């Protein structure tokens, strides 16, 4: 059995635990769909799922962290907000693709502006994350 992750908090009880557990499974499922569809990211949804499972299901939390493809990135982020350089490049490439897609879709100027502003905020956040401890 893998060791407890250093940032793994105590598990909640009652309805809050149920809420976090349900949200964790929903976010995990969305991330799993993203693993096969290039439209959705996997890691961001599994980071959120891991945060939910940290409060509700230590077994699922460890299972996500032990996933060979995304587990190390999720663990780095959980431990200190660390986003490795290669992950930053991939995230920014995906965001660039999103910018192109938004600009090609016939939507209102307000919707386009909101989408592009959201992508820009996400890009700034990713760029400003530390790359190592």
More reliable by pLDDT, 46 or 5: 46
pLDDT value at 4 more than 70: no
The pLDDT value given to residue 70: 86
Q: Is the pTM of this model over 0.85?
A: no
**DSSP SS3 for 81:** coil
In the structure, what pLDDT confidence band is assigned to residue 6 with cuts at 50, 70 and 90? Answer: low
How many CA within 13 A on the CB side of residue 41? 18
The pLDDT value given to residue 69: 85
User: Average pLDDT of the chain?
Assistant: 88
DSSP for 2-69 reads PPPPTT--PPP-HHHHHHHHHHHHHHHHHHHHHHH-TTS-SHHHHHHHHHHHHTT-HHHHHHHHT-TT
From 1, 21, 3, select the one nearest 11 (Cα to Cα).
Answer: 21
pLDDT value at 2 more than 90: no
């Amino acid at each position: 059995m893998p060791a407890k992750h250093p940032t793994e908090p105590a598990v909640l009880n009652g309805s809050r635990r149920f809420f976090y557990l349900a949200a964790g499974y929903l976010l995990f499922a969305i991330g799993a769909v993203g693993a096969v569809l290039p439209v959705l990211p996997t890691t961001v949804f599994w980071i959120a799922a891991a945060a939910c499972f940290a409060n509700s299901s230590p077994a699922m939390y460890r299972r996500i962290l032990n996933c060979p493809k995304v587990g190390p990135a999720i663990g780095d982020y959980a431990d200190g907000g660390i986003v490795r350089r290669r992950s930053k490049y991939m995230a920014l490439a995906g965001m660039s693709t999103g910018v192109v897609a938004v600009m090609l879709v016939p939507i209102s100027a307000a919707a386009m502006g909101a989408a592009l502003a959201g992508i820009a905020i996400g890009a700034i956040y990713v760029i400003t994350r530390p790359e190592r401890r």
